[in-house]
A and B are shown apart, each in its own frame.
Chain A
Amino acid sequence: MTNEFDVEIIERDDRSALFVVRGLTPAFANGIRRAMVADVPTFSIDTVRFVENSSVMFDEMIGLRLGLVPLTTPLDDFEVGETVTLALDVEGPATAYSGDIETSVPEVVPADENIPIIELKENQRLEFEADAVLESGKVHAKQQGGVAVGYRHLQRIEVVGDAPEFDEQEPNILRGVIETEDGELVVTDEFDNDLTQRYPGKEVEVVDVPDTFVFDVETDGSFTVDELVLRAIESIDARAAELEEKVSV
């Protein structure tokens, strides 16, 4: 494994990214994916103290909904296991949204303000205090920072000839990113995911490019995609260093 990685970013947003990495083994690609899902910690609500809940849902059900609200996580300022206190007080008729949650630390707030927690009618009230804890996705799925993380082989399209003249062409659906014969990377959205639209009247062959993977990464809003990927790789690095140290002793 002395070959160098070659990374090409195709799409990059605050919360999602699409990039191609060359020089990866399938095992290592999967290692990165798993680290993004399970090793990067995020804040999420873990215990809730209900002062009043006269809504139609049980305390436990509201608790489950609260656990799934993504909270912004400044990973430099907190250690795993630290807690932050949040509170909410909403009186009906109104809908309690994640944006109504107040926090004791201004850096840890709900990543989205429009997640409905519960609809309250006349004379119903929801008031609670909650502790959010910083933990990794290994502990509970609600702590996952990467929520839609996947990869696939980069596929290369080779034109092998013309399609038979009177044949009706069946749609040839591909998703993600393809590499054309001259090495250009094209997102399949550009031709409606259908190869017959990009190569009309041609017969094409699809081959996997060895050791090259297209990563499609999305976060829940706790931090940016860049931070998720870098932290995941750091965690692999730290574990490898630990193994090296333990083995050499």
Chain B
Amino acid sequence: MSYKCSRCKRDVELDEYGGVRCPYCGHRVLLKERARTVKEVDVE
């Protein structure tokens, strides 16, 4: 899962042991980025 730290704006990789915290600055607010894959949407 890739996130972005809201304070230092760096990419953060989270694992199941580290808890929700930026390893570079310790900030606890992380933002989830949009996936870079192509997304297919059906128009209904």
Residue numbers of A with Cβ under 8 A of B are: 45-51, 53-54, 59-60, 63-64, 66-67, 140, 142
Contact = CB atoms under 8 A, between A and B. Distances in A.
A141 B42 CA distance: 15
Contacts of B38: 49-51
A47 B41 CA distance: 6
B39 A46 contact: no
A182 B10 CA distance: 83
Contacts of A50: 38-41
Contacts of B41: 47-50, 59-60, 63
Given A48-B43, A50-B39, A64-B43, 15 more contacts: A46-B42, A47-B40, A47-B42, A47-B43, A48-B41, A49-B39, A49-B40, A49-B41, A50-B38, A53-B34, A53-B39, A59-B39, A63-B43, A64-B44, A140-B44
B20 to A, nearest CB: 25
Contacts of A142: 43
Contacts of A49: 38-41
A59 B40 CA distance: 9
Interface in B1-44: 34, 38-44
Contacts of A51: 38
A53 B44 CA distance: 19
B43 A45 contact: yes
Nearest to A48: B41
A41 to B, nearest CB: 16
A242 B38 CA distance: 45
A141 B38 CA distance: 27
6 contacts: A46-B42, A47-B43, A48-B43, A49-B39, A63-B42, A64-B44
A131 to B, nearest CB: 10
A67 B44 CA distance: 8
A53 B40 CA distance: 12
Contacts of A60: 41
B34 to A, nearest CB: 8
A67 B43 contact: yes
Nearest to A44: B43
A64 B42 CA distance: 9
Nearest to A129: B38
Nearest to A68: B43
Candidate in B40, B41, B43 with the most chain A CB atoms within 10 angstroms: B43
Nearest to B42: A47
A190 to B, nearest CB: 43
A67 B39 CA distance: 17
B16 to A, nearest CB: 30
